[in-house]
Structures are given as structure tokens and as C-alpha cells.
């Protein structure tokens, strides 16, 4: 599976995340459900088919842990950030998003609305 390095250009001293790049329906459907945990420098970057609020919504059913969720638009700007609690029905971004980044809850304060993010493909 493809992996990407995620760097918040608005917080250059922060540690980058390495996320699995998820752009298929089945990958987005499964997400991180049933996984035992997520590392502090790991994540899942889901790419939606269109930029909108509904497609970018997530659920937290069958999750064993909470997540920091960062929604990005097509320009890779942060449009919303939320702490998603396990077993909650749904979280929808405040604005339309194309990318949904799910990562460790400790990374919640590493992203703020308006931040600019860059993606670098990782060499396998």
C-alpha cells in the first residue's frame, strides 16, 4: 500500500506523519476499524471521490481508540479538526473536504484550521 509523508508547513518544527494513502472505496470503508491501535507518528489519509461535507464524514463504530481527525480541501488546507471519540455515530467537517486524515489523538493540536499541508510520497 502506498504511504505518504504529511508535513504541516504552518508548523515546520512539528514531526511529520507517515500515513497509508487510501483512495479506494473498500479502503475508505474499512478505515481503521478493528485495528488495535495507531502510533503517534502514523495515520490514514483517505481521499474522497469529490470535495464535499457528506463524503468526508466518518463514523467511529468498531473503533478501539479515539482519533484526531483533520479534514483538508483540494488545496491541502485544513478546513476542520476534531477529536473523534470511539463508538460515536458520525463526524462531519464544518466545510467541504477532499482528504480525511485520521491519526493519533496526541496529534490533534498539530493542525489548525487554515494550516497548509504538503504530501510527499514515501519510497518503499
Looking up residue 100, the CATH number of its domain turns out to be 2.60.120.1140
* Contact in structure between 111 and 70 (CB atoms under 8 Å): yes
Can you give the pTM of this predicted structure? 0.93
Domain count, the chain: 1
- Residue-level pLDDT at 46: 95
- Residue-level pLDDT at 14: 72
- In this structure, the number of other CB atoms found within 10 A of the CB of residue 19 comes to 23
Which domain does 86 fall in, by range? Answer: 3-121
Each residue's pLDDT, cut to its tens digit, for the chain (124 residues) gives: 699 999 999 987 678 899 999 999 988 888 888 888 999 999 999 999 999 999 999 999 989 999 999 999 999 999 999 999 999 999 999 999 999 999 999 999 999 999 999 999 987 6
* Contact in structure between 87 and 70 (CB atoms under 8 Å): no
Q: How far apart are the C-alpha atoms of 39 and 103, rounded to whole Å?
A: 8
Q: How far apart are the C-alpha atoms of 67 and 65, rounded to whole Å?
A: 7
Amino acid at each position: 500500500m502506498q504511504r505518504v509523508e504529511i508535513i504541516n508547513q504552518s508548523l515546520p518544527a512539528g514531526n511529520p506523519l507517515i500515513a497509508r494513502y487510501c483512495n479506494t472505496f473498500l479502503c475508505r470503508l474499512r478505515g481503521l476499524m478493528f485495528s488495535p491501535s495507531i502510533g503517534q507518528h502514523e495515520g490514514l489519509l483517505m481521499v474522497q471521490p469529490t470535495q464535499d461535507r457528506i463524503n468526508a464524514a466518518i463514523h467511529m463504530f468498531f473503533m478501539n481508540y479515539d482519533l484526531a481527525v483533520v479534514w483538508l480541501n483540494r488545496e491541502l488546507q485544513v478546513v476542520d479538526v476534531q477529536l473523534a471519540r470511539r463508538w460515536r455515530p458520525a463526524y462531519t467537517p464544518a466545510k467541504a473536504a477532499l482528504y480525511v486524515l485520521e491519526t493519533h489523538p496526541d496529534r490533534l493540536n498539530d493542525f489548525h484550521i487554515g494550516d497548509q499541508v504538503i504530501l510527499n510520497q514515501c519510497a518503499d
